[in-house]
Structure 1
Amino acid sequence: MTKVNLAGEKATLLPTLYGRALDAQSPDSILHDTMAYEAVQQIEFDFSTVGLRRGDDTAIALRAHCLDDWARQYLATQSECVVLHLGCGLDTRAYRIDPGPQVRWYDVDYPEVIELRQQLFPDRPGYQCIGSSVTDPMWLAEVKGDVPVLVVAEGLFMYLKEEEGKALVRRILDHFPSGQFVFDGLSRRGAQLQKLNKAVQAAKAKVYWGFDSCAEWEAIDARLHCVSSMSAFDLDDGRLPASFRMTAKVSKVFTGMKNLAVFYRVDF
């Protein structure tokens, strides 16, 4: 068994891993992420303490599925490119998507997270892990910036301080000729409400950065262009509990509520 001792934003990888593992056991699975289930069986940790509520596993799987689909769509147009999976945690996205041989995939996270990944998951062609905080300006030098890039950031930007996040985005823009960011984000109000999120409370994590629109992201740099955005409340495909579906219906009436959590696709 592999012992885990993580705190703060690093510990938020545990509820998301557990959510995907629970989804994998469901007869109506969304992700079919059996690697997540196998990883949970190998980790010495009481997952009942991560703060998931009923239906959170489905919401976690739907979030991952949305970003997986957007990533696949981009890779279908770029046979040769780099993927930067930022704040990868214990996500098995590289294995779920299984990109082609000309894709160079980098999973980036803190050294202790990468060490844990390497104990749990096998290597694969075209795949490399980088153990570093994503906000450290040095790690990007390990990645050759000669082709377009797909940047995938699930559950990341809200845990960065605003100026750190913007500096990270600009470094990527300067390093690659073109590319796309696919990610989820919280509005300012959504970031404030995370103090009520039981999974965030259990991890003792802090949420810093919220943004309210595509225009705010485009204002980071003139090279950015928002292709699309979608409220997390629009993800429901009928498998979420009734309480989630009711909240989604209410959100369609109140714009501020609908934009508490949003998925973005941004080109440059």
Structure 2
Amino acid sequence: MTDASVLTGVPQTMLWTLHNRATEALRPDGWLQDAEAARIYQSIPYDYDRDFGRPDGSHATRSAMFDEALRPWLTAHPGGTVVELGCGLETQFQRCDDGQVRWLGVDVPEAIAVRERYLPASERYRHLGVSALDPAWLDTVDQSRGVFITAQGLFMYFEEADVRRLVTLIAECLSEAQLMFDVIPKWYSRKTVQGLWRTPHYKVPPMPWGLDRHEIAPLLRSWSPRITRVSEEPYRRFRTFPALLGPTISKLPWLGRHVPSVVRVEMAQL
């Protein structure tokens, strides 16, 4: 099994997101209940603060927003399938499991190797060690009771052409599906491409795909006529300054376009 401490590049970001989620879960006033994230976090001998700095709550609030969208869908689609693209060490299955859902976690082989060390596969949670861009995962999806696809902290690491190919392929291959992912604004994308150091010891991987909020729905709708609805919502809360100003800024007419957001896409056959 792969040791988490040897991860580099995009797979290493699974430790960054774990840092933010688990530290939030460990707070007495935390807004994310995630005992499994806390367990894994405390089990990995890694200097999180050195590499990632002070936790800001961003990934915790993102996960909470994904949970809030998924739980009603699970109620409406008992026994449905959730596909978690770029699953890393995310513990959404453990937080939302209703005893019926079928779950597929997709990530590159080195990430799956780390995941299985702390979160073994089970009868209703399968792992597949391929890139989200590899269409092979689509062949394993049971569509009979509905499909909900999540991609937390993933699409920004792809080029726009790759995201478009993947989204349109999902729309073409699945009779009905919902897709949820997060988007970073263009200014932040540019910073990462130019070289963004989170701390003196950790350089954020380039995130070439960024969109401002007003661009999201028109662009996605132009990709496929099978995309029937697009909605987006800015992140609800942060812990650190100046990020904690984000929810207020998101309400301003022009500045509000330039904050990160969570996007939900509904697809249907014509």
Scaled by the length of structure 2, what TM-score is found?
Answer: 0.87
Match 1:157 to one of 155, 162, 171: 155
What are the Cα deviations for residues 198-218 of structure 1, in whole angstroms up to 9, with x where unaligned? 179825411111233211111
Helix, strand or coil: the match of 1:179? strand
| Structure 2 residue runs without a partner (length 5+) | none
Helix, strand or coil: the match of 2:239? coil
- Check whether the contact 2:250–2:259 (CA below 8 A) recurs between aligned residues: no
Cα distance in 1 for residues equivalent to 2:20 and 2:249? 25
What residue is the counterpart of 2:254 in the other structure?
A: 255
What residue is the counterpart of 2:62 in the other structure?
A: 63
- Check whether the contact 1:8–1:206 (CA below 8 A) recurs between aligned residues: no
Q: CA RMSD in A?
A: 2.4
What residue is the counterpart of 1:126 in the other structure?
A: 124
Cα distance in 2 for residues equivalent to 1:221 and 1:30? 36
What residue is the counterpart of 2:227 in the other structure?
A: 224
- Check whether the contact 2:121–2:127 (CA below 8 A) recurs between aligned residues: no
Cα distance in 2 for residues equivalent to 1:25 and 1:141? 38
What residue is the counterpart of 1:25 in the other structure?
A: 26
> What is the deviation of 1:222?
0.9
Cα distance in 2 for residues equivalent to 1:18 and 1:25? 11
Structure 2 residue identity aligned to 1:216:
L
Describe the shift of the 1:247–1:196 C-alpha distance in structure 2 as closer, same or farther (beyond 3 A): farther
What residue is the counterpart of 1:114 in the other structure?
A: 112
> What is the deviation of 1:91?
0.4
Describe the shift of the 1:197–1:248 C-alpha distance in structure 2 as closer, same or farther (beyond 3 A): farther
Helix, strand or coil: the match of 1:213? helix
What are the Cα deviations for residues 202-260 of structure 1, in whole angstroms up to 9, with x where unaligned? 2541111123321111111111133421112xx02xx7346434354344335345433
Cα distance in 1 for residues equivalent to 2:115 and 2:142? 23
Question: How many residues get paired?
Answer: 261
> What is the deviation of 1:104?
1.6
Cα distance in 2 for residues equivalent to 1:114 and 1:168? 20
Cα distance in 2 for residues equivalent to 1:200 and 1:255? 33
Cα distance in 2 for residues equivalent to 1:137 and 1:200? 37
What residue is the counterpart of 2:188 in the other structure?
A: 190
Describe the shift of the 1:214–1:23 C-alpha distance in structure 2 as closer, same or farther (beyond 3 A): same
Cα distance in 2 for residues equivalent to 1:200 and 1:128? 37
Helix, strand or coil: the match of 1:219? helix
What residue is the counterpart of 1:51 in the other structure?
A: 52
> What is the deviation of 1:146?
3.8
> What percent of counterpart residues are identical?
29
Helix, strand or coil: the match of 1:53? coil
Cα distance in 2 for residues equivalent to 1:259 and 1:200? 26
- Check whether the contact 1:7–1:205 (CA below 8 A) recurs between aligned residues: no
Describe the shift of the 1:222–1:197 C-alpha distance in structure 2 as closer, same or farther (beyond 3 A): farther
- Check whether the contact 2:21–2:32 (CA below 8 A) recurs between aligned residues: yes
| Structure 1 residue runs without a partner (length 5+) | none
Helix, strand or coil: the match of 2:232? strand
- Check whether the contact 1:114–1:130 (CA below 8 A) recurs between aligned residues: yes
What residue is the counterpart of 1:207 in the other structure?
A: 207
Cα distance in 1 for residues equivalent to 2:248 and 2:51? 28
- Check whether the contact 1:12–1:203 (CA below 8 A) recurs between aligned residues: no
- Check whether the contact 2:230–2:266 (CA below 8 A) recurs between aligned residues: yes
Scaled by the length of structure 1, what TM-score is found?
Answer: 0.87
> What is the deviation of 1:197?
6.1
**Structure 1 runs, 4 residues or longer, greater than 4 Å off:** none
What residue is the counterpart of 1:85 in the other structure?
A: 84
Structure 1 residue identity aligned to 2:175:
P
- Check whether the contact 1:2–1:42 (CA below 8 A) recurs between aligned residues: no
Higher mean C-alpha displacement, 128-137 vs 199-208: 199-208
